[in-house]
A = this chain, B = another copy of it.
Amino acid sequence: MHNKHTRCARPSQLGILIGLAVGTFGSPSAALSQAPEPTRSQALLGAVEAESLERWHDLVAERPHMAGTPGDLAVIQHLVESFEAMGLEVERHPVRTWIAKPVSARLAIAAPTPIELSIQEPALDNDPDTSDPALLIGWNAYSGSGAVEAEVVYANYGRLEDFEKLLELGVDCTGKIIIARYGGNFRGYKAKFAEAAGAAGLIIYTDPADSGWGKGLSWPEGVWSGEESIQRGSIMTLPYAGDPLSPMVEAKPGAEFLDPGSVELPNIPVQPIGWASAAQILSRMGGESVSGNWQGGLPFRYRLEGGPELRVQLEVVQERFFADTANVIGILRGSEEPERMVLVGSHHDAWGCGASDPTSGLITVLEAARILSQEVRAQGPFRRSIAFAGWGAEEFGIIGSTEWVEADLDRARHKIVAYMNLDGAAGGVQLSASASPSLQSLIAEIAGELPQPGSNNESALDNWRARGTHPGFDALPRFGDLGGGSDHVGFLALGGVPCVGFNGGGSPGTAYHTNYDTRAWYRSAVGSDYAAAKLIAGGAILFAARLADAAVLPLDIERTAPEVLRHLRNLTRRGRALGLFKESERPIDLGLARAEAAALQYGERATELAQRVRAAGQDPELDATTRESLNETLMQLDRAWLAAEGLPDRPWFQNLFAAPDESSGYSSWMLPALRRAIEDLDVRALAREETRLLTVIARLNQGLDELDRALQ
């Protein structure tokens, strides 16, 4: 089973990339796509150049390029020109969206002694990028505008449980300025909970325990945050991604936008600061001591309240406006199934220079485009199209990618084979991924072909697996669950597209969303050898080529059932922990047991059919009708999870398999409608959602029927 085919120049058989060998790792079920001739993969990977990645980095990260600014338009133009120079079909997709910009802000202690507090990082002598005049003050996009003077209350991480704790302790937030530290949730929820608690304003700061001396030496001596590092970021928390005024509608010039007043954007002023400024406030607080885990790293005991002596002034002025930006998509058009598209992307907008976030990922998209366009020029087109995307305005609310999905839902639901998201992906050489079940085996197979930087014989897969194997499936490395927070969200939630967040990590340090996220920081923290970016670009290249060229799509139908079972069992545990089963042990146990039984049964059928699909894929005589029928069905299986009515209270999120956590934003809820019912201890909703899950499994079974028919 390790036949190597001789290279064949016929363009429609870029089967040069796809041999008949079994996969790199042991399980036969994992050999979904046929592995390439090693020399061919190696040649593609060998074409990736550190110098080229460094040039892309200089092109994009040289200047601040926040969405809606001249720097943004310059980057868009660079992307258009770069893709054109590669000979790609270029789509410059315009986006008109309701974003914000800072006008002015001020933070000061008014009493007992007036002190003005810094709200912007100073320029650093050794890094000219930090003195760019286009760099802005620290700000949180979509903050309310206003000036308040008030007492302060410390709210730890500003999570739901932190505000609940304050309530329990009798600490009144009404009319106060909340000061909370970054971490523990999406910053937007800190603002949402503060406003809900009646606060007059919110200050968010970076605590040295979490990102500074608690972790390591500060930039520029080390690679961690310094006392004036300020994390910027959006605080929008709407029950949908994308432009805030056009859910489900493409945000473009002339679109029907909602009235801004009808959308729940923050009303109170919100200001991010560094810990030097925060310490000025926190050290002057006079109330009760916090309890244990609320203490941060500043050198005094934290307190819950400032008391009446300490008065803080916070003034934030922002302008909300329609900005024009764009997604840029470069397409290598396929020859056989040109409408079907494998998509690899990263956003291009950044809060400052964004050398790490997003540009360390965007340069791998550009490099993958460069290598694969060379390949196509030399060997002819792939079977299917490959698209390389730079998304706009992600930082404000995953806007560009979402609008592209909303612009053509049919494309997302029927034409996009898979999406690989590479937002800031090259942060180190330890590969990991969060992936839809149907992509896990392919990603592992690709990782097995990527040499681990700095090792002799180890693959990136070896390194990844050594850090932990997948729960319940030792043959795979540990995959994460897809959460929120980046450009896969629209594809997954609205399109049912198989998605993977591909990521290199392991380098210590952070300059996240600060004015210090520059090439100098990146080259010091992650490396000037671009080994991490080479690794990620290589993975993107193999991913795109494999999915674009395989006769039968290497989408794994076997992984879904075990993943559903795993999530069901986690939900059962969660329900038990919440005491849900105390009142009604029997019906709910039976309920989840029904879903488990259905998933198990589906899994058995899927395993049997998967073997036949693989055999068909390896059959050189496979007829075109069968192949097309198999591919069409394989494409649609992930879409079985879409439900037009969406999630409870979040109808925009239509994927019943995964969604972002409702109250933290970044992490994931798996089987989110069931999860919501369990969190609510709502037995009736649980029964309803279990029925919806059984409906999904029934659709999945129909898919198997179709595969079965096609193979007969």
Contacts and interface: CB of A to CB of B under 8 A. Distances in A.
A646 interface: no
A289 B208 contact: no
The size class of the interface chain A forms with chain B is 10 to 19
A297 interface: yes
Contacts of A292: 215
A224 B213 CA distance: 23
A216 interface: yes
A218 interface: yes
Interface in A292-325: 292, 295, 297-302
Nearest to A291: B216
Contacts of A527: none
Interface string A277-301: 0000000000001001001011111
A115 interface: no
Contacts of A301: 212-213, 216-218, 222, 224
A214 B289 contact: no
Of residues A214, A222, A297, A301, which shows the largest number of chain B Cβ atoms within 10 Å of its Cβ?
A: A301
Contacts of A216: 289, 301
Interface string A204-231: 0000100011111110001010000000
State the main secondary structure of chain A at its contact with B.
Answer: loop
Contacts of A213: 295, 299-302
Contacts of A214: 295
Contacts of A289: 216-217, 222
Interface in A181-240: 208, 212-218, 222, 224
A289 B219 CA distance: 13
Contact of A297 (B215, B218, B224, B297): B297
A267 to B, nearest CB: 35
A212 to B, nearest CB: 8
A658 to B, nearest CB: 32
A189 to B, nearest CB: 27
A102 to B, nearest CB: 30
A467 to B, nearest CB: 17
A557 to B, nearest CB: 42
Nearest to A295: B214
Contacts of A217: 289, 301
A222 B218 CA distance: 32
Contacts of A298: 299
Nearest to A208: B299
A300 B215 CA distance: 10
A40 B208 CA distance: 59
Interface string A27-54: 0000000000000000000000000000
Contacts of A300: 213
Contacts of A212: 301
A216 B218 CA distance: 27
A460 B301 CA distance: 32
Contact of A299 (B215, B222, B299): B299
A164 to B, nearest CB: 22
A626 to B, nearest CB: 55
Ordered nearest first, which 6 A-B pairs have the shortest CB separation? A299-B299, A213-B301, A217-B289, A217-B301, A216-B289, A213-B300
15 contacts: A208-B299, A212-B301, A213-B295, A213-B301, A213-B302, A215-B292, A216-B289, A217-B289, A217-B301, A218-B301, A224-B301, A297-B297, A297-B299, A298-B299, A299-B299
Given A213-B302, A299-B299, 4 more contacts: A212-B301, A213-B299, A224-B301, A298-B299
